[in-house]
Amino acid sequence: MSSAGELACTYAVLILHDDGIPVTAEKIATLVKAANVSVESYWPSLFAKLAEKRNVDDLVMNVGSGGGAAPVAVAAPAGGAAPAAAAPAAEEKKEEPKEESDDDMGFSLFD
């Protein structure tokens, strides 16, 4: 289960990204401090590095695709499950069955 500090950093990243502000460790720490949440000193830098390397929009949109929960997907570097949680889901193209026409059967309704 995630701690209040991890959740605070997650929300800070989402707030910064939503406002179009570059995500940095200092800005995450400032938001967390303004929320009166105490976090370990390494959390803001971990989340800033994650936001730098991964597209936050992709993380938000793919929250449920890997079977992980939102905090797991955002806090992946801390848990060591980054390759599994952050790997983009491979989309397989399914071929739709082609509809057969009456011409292919050799007869029509009006013959």
Average pLDDT value over all residues in the chain = 72
47-53 long-range contacts, CB within 8 A, separation 24+: 47/9, 47/10, 47/12, 47/13, 47/23, 47/74, 47/75, 48/13, 48/23, 48/24, 49/77, 50/13, 50/74, 50/76, 50/77, 51/13, 51/16, 51/17, 51/23, 52/23
- Dig out the tokens for 66 from the structure: 């890997």
Q: How many CB atoms lie within 10 A of CB 50?
A: 23
- pTM reported for the whole predicted model: 0.53
Determine the pLDDT at residue 80.
45
Q: What is the pLDDT of residues 54-79, one digit of tens each?
A: 888 888 887 776 654 445 444 444 54
Determine the pLDDT at residue 87.
44
**9 near 32, Cβ under 8 Å?**
yes
**pLDDT digits (tens), the chain, 111 positions:** 368 888 889 899 999 988 898 999 999 999 999 999 888 889 999 999 988 888 888 888 877 766 544 454 444 445 444 444 444 444 555 566 666 555 556 666 675
- Dig out the tokens for 110 from the structure: 């009006």
Determine the pLDDT at residue 44.
92
